[in-house]
Structure 1
Amino acid sequence: MGAVLGAELSLAQDREQAVLDSETQGTVSNSWETITAESEVTSWQVLNKGVLEILDGGAATRVRADGANSWVIVNGGRVTEGIHLGGARAVLDNADIRNDSGEALLLSTVTAAGTTTASRAEIQGSTLSGAGIGIAVAALGQLSLDNTRVFGSDFGGVGGMGIRLLGATLTMTNNSLVQGDAIGLQLDGRTAAPGGPIIPREANIVVDNSTIEGLTGPAISAVETTIANITVQNGANLLSGNGVLLDVAGASTIGFTADNSLLRGDLVADDSSTLDVTLQNGAQLFGNLINTHSVAINSRANWTLTSDAEVNSLSMGGGSVTLGSAEQFYTLSLGELSGTGMFNMHVNLMDNTGDKLDINGEAHGNFLLNVQNTGLEPSSPEITPLHVVHTEGGDALFEVVGGSIDLGVYSYQLEKQGDDWFIVGSGKTISPSTEASLALFNVGPTIWYGELATLRNRMGEIRTSGEGGGWIRSNGNQYNVTAEAGFGYKQRQKGLSFGVDLPVPVSDGQLLVGVMAGHSRSDLSLNRGTSATVNSYSLGAYGTWLRDDGYYLDGVLKLNRFDNQADVSMSNGTKAKGDYDNFAYGASLEFGKHIKLHDDVFVEPYAQLSSVLVKGGSYHLDNGLRADNERTVSVLGKAGATLGRNLELPDGGLLQPYLRVAMAHEFSRNDNTVKVNDTAFDNSLFGTRGELGVGVSAALSTELQLHAEFDYMKGEHIEQPWGVNLGLRYAF
């Protein structure tokens, strides 16, 4: 028969041959034999292009097939003492193959008359369980597993391998499992037949959506000058009992690729071996690469270190490396670095420590440092420069994600000093978390005044008619705010309010009093995608007195409840959230005179004083930042005039277009201090502003009136580019 390359694969091959020779056995030679449920259970030898077929319900004890054109087909049947292929082929479908004293399946390679014939097995939906080794495959053999389970148990204190492979090909697909009591898959570079011809020993392994597991040892072990390429792809998994996914020893050379899979454990090589690792297509590795020769991380793949690590050469093509965590910092030491990628890092500026990238050779390419942003404060805003990247030269460019690093109140910069890179305190700016906190504490007065404008329009109407009634109004506006603290935001407000009022008899003129309720929502837009939302719920009372000589006095009391929510996008894109509730109390008093001119033209000069107190509080973002504010106070004085005309409509209605101009001044300056992580900010909107409004009121009948107004305002710290009010009232 010639040399059999497979003897060293088997832990019990001599015993197998002796048992096979001593048993009563069937022989299939140049024929086709079918085993059914009614057939005798015995051992079989297949020779000379013979085919042994075991159907559902059929069984055999031991099967051996020799020769390139000899076949073993098991379709739903079972074999109780294993199958040995000597250059033959097996097709197993829904088969149950077991052996309590050796391999469930042995694929040998035979060399005779200068011709080498390897075995091949295609297995689908089957279970194979062996003692010592589940399946053994000699050089050049081909084994494919589809939705198949392979188990290798400990055999007298030795073995415990799911599969043992000598320079062969293994393909696993469709949720297959290979499990060994010790090692899931062992790769061996030895030639099995001493003195025989040199057989190429390169193994190729593809694990596709399948699992290899070593219960007490590594998932995969490579020994004795193994040369192999291993690809783990499409959700495949490697599991180990000792934390080592791949153990490379004995002057072996391994190329390992993880593709679109998540792996947890270490890849280890000894000093005599070479291990090259590639992560690609979103693959995730949580573990260490120990004594690796080269590492390539491409196409959204990520390697997360679990301790300090050293790699001779790292190339990146759109992948990333995560060095440590907020609780544990690591150093990644590289011989050289090239490509394009990202390093996820963590720092603690309270004690000036953090992750570090230490390149002891040249670095070439473009790299992002995604330093964890946090709301926690450094020991001092004037930080000691923190060393995060060291190189020995090269043209590499390092930048931080988002252009800066949020650390508490401020955002800090990355600065190159020689061939090294540092996080520095110079050039710091207010962080997005701080901006959101200041904006929420600042927005209460503008919300209150935006709702007040709606009510003031209603009061102008009832002065004109002198009749009580019910009303409903909607309003929308935008404020562009630049606070004293040096940040800005846009506030878009929309709301709905309604109320009812009644006339009260007085000796001079007319007096109406009413109550109102409303809701508004304000959406705040800040820098870099940060936003906030405030829902306002209000109750109020109002009154207006118009004397017979044209003088009038308007008064408003209003209570608000604000629900505040912040959605912060930190500089690196990480989200942080926080919320709190507070109340506001305010009043407004306006005094003026309605002066009738000729041709139904009128003018109303007026002066107004409004004040609102927004209760402060303390709130936290989930990134650790905290903000405190005792109160926010606004005192707004205003003087202006309204010019309008009453136009009678042909059907008896009345149309009143008007123009309003005013100058306003915010007096509150020192009552709006906000502390963010104990850093104080002046949050006032102190200054003067001009206002312009145009509108029209239409009395369609004695009961029904419509109203519309457009407003514009511009000041030192605040601008209202537009404001719209639409209303309807029905007189009783």
Structure 2
Amino acid sequence: MFKKKVISTLILSVLPGAGFSADFTEKVNQGTEVKNEVINDRQDVYGKILDSTITTGGHQYIHTGGSASNIVLNGGKSTVTGALIDNFKILSGIQKLESDAISENAYIAMSGIQHVNNNATAVSTTVENKGRQYINAGGRSENTTVNSDGTQYVYKNGMSNKTIINGGAVFVRGGTATNSTINSGKQVVTEGGTTSGDTINKGGYQNIGVNGSASNVTVNTGGRQDINTGGYAKDTTVIGGQYDIDPNATGENVSFDGGVGFIHEAGVLAGYATLKNGAEIYMAEGSDADISLSGQSNLYVINSIKNRNMNLNDSSVHFRSSFDNDLSTDLKEFKTLSVDKLDSSNSSFFMKVEGMSGDFLDVSEFSGTNNTVNIKGSGKESSDGYHLIHAGNSTNDAFKLNGDKVELGSYVYTLEKNNDDWYLKQHSDQLSSSAKAALSMASYASSIFTNEFHTISDRLNNSLTDIEGNHVWGRFISSDYRVDNGVNDPYKLKQNGFEYGIGKTLPTETGDISFGVSAGITQNKIKEKSGTHSDVDSYSIGLYASYIHKNGLYIDGLIKGNRFDTNSKVIVDSVDVATTEFKQTGFGSALEVGKYTWFDKTFFVPYTRAEYFIARSEDVSLSNGMKVDLGNDRSFKGEIGAKLGTNLNVGQSAKITPYFKISIENEFIDDNSVNINKSVKIRNDNSGTVGNYSLGLDAKIGKNASLFSEVGYSKGSNIEAPLNIKAGVRVLF
């Protein structure tokens, strides 16, 4: 043995193994064992070395027949040829494994590097924290674990087997990898590299790049195989994971059990693709592959594409998806799916038609039954017969429309077959929900206005107890109003609000004149039979005047302006919702003439009344694309009726006046109209006769105050108000 002396004190002060000798054996002969050495120069090992450290400047050569165990490489070099080493820690510096060398249980970190060269093997290596392992030509690794920040490179003619990736990275650049497990981190295969038999788990990512290839890879939930441009993968099994074929990449033979696949533009799907158990495939490019879907799986059509053979069973085809903009460089609103041969049963097709355009399914040879076509309703006006499907050899039970109908624009459509072609047929006698809702919206204003207006009229009717001077009053309104003209969507209007007023009463030689100004606000909740509901806030201001002759004759006059703020949610096709909001301005006036006839304390009042209202037309846009010109909401009503009541004194200063009122009211205007999409004009006729019945009580409390309440019921050909409540107070001063 030969020993070389070094400056021991300095070395021992900086090395972790401070108890090691600063002298080392330059040559460890065969049959000799040394340990606890610090090597900072050349050392040749033919025997056995244990528990030592190689530092900067040190270079250990382990030759055929030699061995090493528990060595720390910390800045120096290690070259192993034809020898067995165990438990090397490569913290910095470089180790080279040459011909027939075997390394077991090595640990590589902290910028340490291991090269595995010709016929050398690295077994059960751990690489992490900036450590690197290079598998070069003829080199081989077995059971390497690559943790976070660790890297393994497999070059041409190099091989790795059973590598486990836990947050690190493996680059197969021309070499061969087999049976890798990617738990997290990534594996990148390029430059003629190949990989096979891999398993990709949650958080794992495999990238097959230019001239790279993969085969027999399993992608589990949370894992992803991405075939990049120029890459190729065959016989992939996806079990809940993700599979991508990028532009100018090829994937051949893929099986999905759950999970999702993306076929990008210019991506090639070859061989076959089978999907089951809710798997999804998004196709921006057509394919000659045999595509089969079952078990509620889904195909998403991104661009207009052509496929050769498809088989669908209990699955769905969607003509749009949330990934359309990500996968297409030239996205069109409507798409065509062309299939040479399609066998489809018990499956669904989700398509879209708007206006004169829509999706199209074109099948040369079709077989199968009981498929459902789902068309999302649209507010845009369509043609009277849209060509939706061509299916060669299809039978009458091949397709049916979900819900048996769809609403497009103003009308209802059904799916009809003509030879091998399937059309959406318009039924011009059946208005769509959107059209019916538009007709209802067009009459909201007049319905709200009428009830508010009657409140002021009733206030004037109860003004006989007013005395000379000023007055203020307020009334609460609550009503349940129902409208059904046989054309619109029948609706219920629940109105709650207040009307206020301030005025003055002046005596004349022949009677009293009362006049004033009113203001009001009501909240109106409207629910239509279809489920459509609207909120309308009404704000109003008006002027009123009344003259009451001493002989009982009276004349009441009113004018009022309203502002209506409407927010609506329209139910389309029973499930979809279209929204809109708009504002309207309305003006109205009324004139009432009657005559009080007294029989002691009892009075009888016949009267007649005329009322006119108009709400200006508004252009309304629904979120489903429908454009509506509401037209002027006009109303002209005539009413005749009678009121019977009596005055009852209660104490010295109080008086109550119960009464009953009955009238017949007629709406004369029958030619209001609504214009939909500038092409369909629909008459909105709310004319007809209504009977009104009311019980009320006017109670004078003291000299200057009175209370009022009234409950009413109305019923007519188009209108019913089962409960109409008004209550208020007025104060004279």
Instruction: Determine which of 155, 166, 191 is the counterpart of 1:124.
Output: 166
SS at match of 1:458: helix
2:550 maps to 1:548: yes
Cα distance, 1:74–1:99 mapped onto 2, change above 3 Å: closer
SS at match of 2:454: helix
Which has the higher mean CA deviation after the structures are superposed, 411-420 or 688-697? 411-420
The aligned amino acid for 1:368 is V
> Partner of 1:59 in structure 2?
112
Cα-to-partner distance string for 1:166-211 (whole Å, 9 max, x where unaligned): 3x1321422x44335426x7224xxxxxxxxxxxxxx242154354
> Partner of 1:342 in structure 2?
348
Q: Distance in 2 between matches of 1:446 and 1:491?
A: 8
> Partner of 1:143 in structure 2?
181
1:575-614 matches, within 5 Å, as 575-598=577-600, 600-614=601-615
Q: Distance in 1 between matches of 2:404 and 2:640?
A: 46
Cα distance, 1:267–1:495 mapped onto 2, change above 3 Å: farther
Q: Distance in 2 between matches of 1:100 and 1:71?
A: 16
SS at match of 2:670: coil
Cα-to-partner distance string for 1:46-76 (whole Å, 9 max, x where unaligned): 9999742426426232258999994212343
> Partner of 2:214 in structure 1?
187
- Deviation (angstroms), 1:650: 5.6
For the 8 Å contact 1:66–1:87, the answer to whether it is kept is no
Q: Distance in 2 between matches of 1:720 and 1:85?
A: 92
> Partner of 2:131 in structure 1?
78
> Partner of 2:268 in structure 1?
268
The aligned amino acid for 1:313 is M
Cα distance, 1:436–1:486 mapped onto 2, change above 3 Å: closer
- Deviation (angstroms), 1:357: 4.7
For the 8 Å contact 2:513–2:547, the answer to whether it is kept is yes
> Partner of 1:197 in structure 2?
none
Which has the higher mean CA deviation after the structures are superposed, 635-644 or 482-491? 482-491
1:349-364 matches, within 5 Å, as 350=356, 355-358=360-363, 360-364=365-369
Q: Distance in 2 between matches of 1:261 and 1:606?
A: 77
The aligned amino acid for 1:94 is S
Cα distance, 1:241–1:602 mapped onto 2, change above 3 Å: same
Cα-to-partner distance string for 1:273-331 (whole Å, 9 max, x where unaligned): x3123276484614235122232165474412412323533224353321799744414
Instruction: Determine which of 23, 41, 56 is the counterpart of 2:94.
Output: 41
SS at match of 1:285: strand
> Partner of 2:425 in structure 1?
424
> Partner of 1:320 in structure 2?
317
> Partner of 2:251 in structure 1?
247
For the 8 Å contact 2:496–2:522, the answer to whether it is kept is yes
- Deviation (angstroms), 1:435: 1.9
- Deviation (angstroms), 1:533: 3.9
For the 8 Å contact 1:62–1:81, the answer to whether it is kept is yes
SS at match of 1:535: strand
Cα distance, 1:280–1:289 mapped onto 2, change above 3 Å: farther
Cα distance, 1:704–1:643 mapped onto 2, change above 3 Å: same
For the 8 Å contact 1:53–1:75, the answer to whether it is kept is no
- Deviation (angstroms), 1:239: 6.2
> Partner of 1:209 in structure 2?
222
Cα-to-partner distance string for 1:591-623 (whole Å, 9 max, x where unaligned): 12233335x443322211111122224333344
Cα distance, 1:535–1:347 mapped onto 2, change above 3 Å: same
Cα distance, 1:427–1:359 mapped onto 2, change above 3 Å: farther
- Deviation (angstroms), 1:269: 4.2
> Partner of 2:33 in structure 1?
none
Cα distance, 1:630–1:75 mapped onto 2, change above 3 Å: closer
1:396-545 matches, within 5 Å, as 396=397, 398-417=399-418, 421-426=422-427, 428-466=429-467, 468-483=470-485, 485=487, 487-526=489-528, 528-545=530-547
Q: Distance in 1 between matches of 2:223 and 2:141?
A: 27
> Partner of 1:200 in structure 2?
none
SS at match of 2:369: strand
The aligned amino acid for 1:247 is G
For the 8 Å contact 1:20–1:62, the answer to whether it is kept is no
- Deviation (angstroms), 1:628: 3.0
Q: Distance in 2 between matches of 1:459 and 1:520?
A: 20
1:551-566 matches, within 5 Å, as 551-566=553-568
Which has the higher mean CA deviation after the structures are superposed, 458-467 or 508-517? 458-467
Cα-to-partner distance string for 1:216-262 (whole Å, 9 max, x where unaligned): 335xx23xxx54423453xx4636243x5x522xxxx4324562677
> Partner of 2:634 in structure 1?
633
The aligned amino acid for 1:462 is S
> Partner of 1:113 in structure 2?
none
> Partner of 1:368 in structure 2?
373
Q: Distance in 2 between matches of 1:65 and 1:505?
A: 123
Q: Distance in 1 between matches of 2:361 and 2:704?
A: 76
For the 8 Å contact 2:293–2:315, the answer to whether it is kept is no
Cα distance, 1:48–1:81 mapped onto 2, change above 3 Å: closer
Q: Distance in 2 between matches of 1:20 and 1:493?
A: 97
Q: Distance in 2 between matches of 1:617 and 1:636?
A: 23
Q: Is there any run of 5+ residues in structure 2 with no aligned partner, and where?
A: 1-60, 65-76, 322-330
Q: Distance in 2 between matches of 1:127 and 1:415?
A: 58
> Partner of 1:195 in structure 2?
none
For the 8 Å contact 2:411–2:430, the answer to whether it is kept is yes
Q: Distance in 2 between matches of 1:282 and 1:472?
A: 65
Q: Distance in 2 between matches of 1:56 and 1:514?
A: 93
Q: Distance in 1 between matches of 2:365 and 2:101?
A: 63
Q: Distance in 2 between matches of 1:657 and 1:82?
A: 105
Which has the higher mean CA deviation after the structures are superposed, 681-690 or 427-436? 427-436
The aligned amino acid for 1:128 is V
> Partner of 2:717 in structure 1?
716
- Deviation (angstroms), 1:29: 8.6
> Partner of 2:694 in structure 1?
693
Q: Distance in 2 between matches of 1:308 and 1:328?
A: 12
Q: How many residues align?
A: 649
- Deviation (angstroms), 1:384: 4.6
Cα distance, 1:349–1:680 mapped onto 2, change above 3 Å: closer
Q: Distance in 2 between matches of 1:372 and 1:681?
A: 20
2:276 maps to 1:230: no
- Deviation (angstroms), 1:418: 6.2
Indicate the structure (1 or 2) with the bigger Cα radius of gyration: 2
- Deviation (angstroms), 1:712: 1.8
Cα distance, 1:348–1:277 mapped onto 2, change above 3 Å: same
Q: Distance in 1 between matches of 2:645 and 2:279?
A: 68
Q: Distance in 2 between matches of 1:694 and 1:596?
A: 19
Q: Distance in 2 between matches of 1:661 and 1:546?
A: 21
> Partner of 1:646 in structure 2?
647
Q: Distance in 2 between matches of 1:718 and 1:470?
A: 33
Structure with bigger RCO (C-alpha 8 Å, 6+ apart): 1
Instruction: Determine which of 233, 250, 274 is the counterpart of 1:277.
Output: 274
Q: Distance in 2 between matches of 1:706 and 1:397?
A: 71
Cα-to-partner distance string for 1:347-374 (whole Å, 9 max, x where unaligned): 47748x8513536232123413325524
- Deviation (angstroms), 1:89: 1.6
Q: Distance in 2 between matches of 1:326 and 1:604?
A: 70
Q: Is there any run of 5+ residues in structure 1 with no aligned partner, and where?
A: 1-18, 108-118, 189-202
The aligned amino acid for 2:251 is D
- Deviation (angstroms), 1:264: 4.7
For the 8 Å contact 1:54–1:77, the answer to whether it is kept is no
